[in-house]
Amino acid sequence: MTRILRPLLASLALGLLASPAIATADEHAQSLHEQYKDAKKDEIAFANLPTAAQNAIRTWAEGGEIKKVEQVTLKNGQVQYKAEIKKGKEKLEVAVTPDGKTVARGEDID
């Protein structure tokens, strides 16, 4: 039983630690949806992303296809890259910073 339980608990713990958090330095933090509503979005070629952002998106897309990438410039000037990924029938959107940190993931993040 312990042989099965330990790896399961370790996987669960890693999953919780890897879960992205959405935060801003702003005292009046807005939800990602509100930030994206006022953001400037431009489609961008994947090859034009910073290397760290490319690597993060490739990790999320493992086993799938990156369908579209946008550069999102928030009202405060912060830049993020949002990718639409298709894995079989599953659709995933992920937002990362230029240095590769994941800020959001889900079916429809904006």
pTM higher than the cut 0.75: no
7-26 burial, b at 16+ Cβ within 10 Å, e below that, comes to: eeeeeeeeeeeeeeeeeeee
**pLDDT tens sequence across 52-95:** 999 999 999 999 999 999 999 999 999 999 999 999 999 999 99
Identify the residue with better confidence: 49 or 28.
49
Q: Distance (Å, rounded) from C-alpha 105 to C-alpha 102?
A: 8
